[in-house]
Amino acid sequence: MGRLTSEQTDAFLDEAHRAIVATIYPDGCPHLSTVWYRWDGAFWIATNRTTVKYRNLLRDPRITVLVDAPPRETSVVGYGRIEEIARDDAAWEGALAIVSRYVANAEAYLEARRDDPRVLLRVKPDKLVTWTPD
């Protein structure tokens, strides 16, 4: 297996893959969930404050983000800590930037969820690990 260059990593993460995030339950067991994201040198994730992942992150901000493309055997893993950027209406633009990567009418998609207790999170990885076949 080979490694991606930083340019290849950015190009790969700019594609609309889903990510799997790992957070930590109070008992130390990992919790995995699938999320949409946006990448600009950091992972941006929008979620609800009612989710298990968010409650786990409030207690322990460490997170692992895996973006995988199985048919290509290419993956990127980022290890870091979350930073809460915005909540509710203040998180709208950030959520819109994420959702628009995956949904044709992102505004309608979010409007139907306008009253959700939304939060916008940023993960600037302390470490990135990449692999791809040579």
Kindly report the number of other CB atoms within 10 A of residue 35's CB atom. Answer: 17
**Averaged confidence pLDDT in the chain:** 95
pTM, two decimals, is 0.94
3-state secondary structure of 43: strand
Cα–Cα distance list, 128 to 42, 50, 125, 134 (Å):
11, 28, 6, 19
Closest by Cα among 10, 13, 31 to 21:
31
Structural domain boundaries of the chain? Answer: 6-131
- At residue 81 the predicted structure's pLDDT band, cuts being 50, 70 and 90, is very high
Q: Tell me: the pLDDT tens digits for 12-46? A: 999 999 999 999 999 999 999 999 999 999 999 99
- At residue 1 the predicted structure's pLDDT band, cuts being 50, 70 and 90, is confident
Compute φ and ψ for 118, nearest 5 degrees: -75, 150
Instruction: Quote the CA–CA distance of 1 and 28 in Å, as a whole number.
Output: 31
Q: Which CATH fold topology does 6-131 show? A: Pnp Oxidase; Chain A (2.30.110)
